[in-house]
Chain A
Amino acid sequence: QVQLQESGPGLVKPSQTLSLICTVSGGSITTDNYYWSWIRQPAGKGLEWIGRIYISGTTNRNPSLKSRVTLSMDTSKNQFSLQLTSVTAADTALYYCAGTLYGDNRIESWGRGTLVTVSS
């Protein structure tokens, strides 16, 4: 299994853009075996899928967040990233990156998560 590590600012101001990077080790993000996904979890609440990107460039995004989410990959750095625009306090959450197996779509590997707080 691959290992994943999220990185990015822990504090973002309202109306600004949240940007996170996930660094993958133990495997290449150019593999066609995985989707690369983002999932978040507000404190004390359940898991919410944000979106995923495939090596072909295909992306799928949660319809409720679609207009604010951009997903991208940097194959030279073995990283993928999330941008969430126009954030509000409701976007405060623990953000996970994950590797999802192409085919049966099980989330096989998770990062440890990074807490992002939206506050002025």
Chain B
Amino acid sequence: SSELTQSPSVSVSPGQTARITCSGDALSIQYTHWFQQKPGQAPILVIYKDTERPSGIPERFSGSSSGTTVTLTISGVQAEDEADYYCQSEDSDGNSVLFGGGTKLTV
């Protein structure tokens, strides 16, 4: 399959937990990475290889994977986390990069 599916929007109150999911057939065999994008800015990597957090990214960001669905979890959401979030992976052959449609997180 050549698609990654994200829900268009998630809304949470400050301090709550936000969960953003990404689904696709290839996700069971390919790594997934997550990006945060704020208006007017280039995307920033917040999770890579399903569960790894780059240096400088707050511990409240975490990732998990189960079968063909991966999840970005933001615990104790802060107002500064309001942004668009995109998942990125590859097709099952590894020949095409795929992006999810993006999820707008409203805090």
Contact = CB atoms under 8 A, between A and B. Distances in A.
B99 A49 contact: yes
B42 A111 contact: yes
Contacts, number: 57
Interface in A93-114: 96, 100, 104-108, 110-113
B14 interface: no
B77 interface: no
Interface string B64-107: 00000000000000000000101011100011111111100000
Interface residues of A, number: 21
Nearest to B88: A107
B97 A63 contact: no
A62 B45 CA distance: 22
Interface in B34-49: 35, 37, 42-43, 45, 48-49
Given A60-B95, A113-B42, A105 B31 contact: yes
B42 A96 contact: yes
Given A63-B2, A63-B96, A106-B33, A46 B101 contact: yes
Interface string A20-51: 00000000000000000101000000111100
Q: Which of A47, A100, A111 has the most CB of B within 10 A?
A: A47
Given A46-B99, A46-B102, A48-B99, A110 B42 contact: yes
Top-8 shortest CB links A-B: A49-B97, A110-B42, A46-B102, A106-B48, A47-B99, A106-B33, A46-B101, A104-B31
Interface of A: 37, 39, 46-49, 52, 60, 62-63, 96, 100, 104-108, 110-113
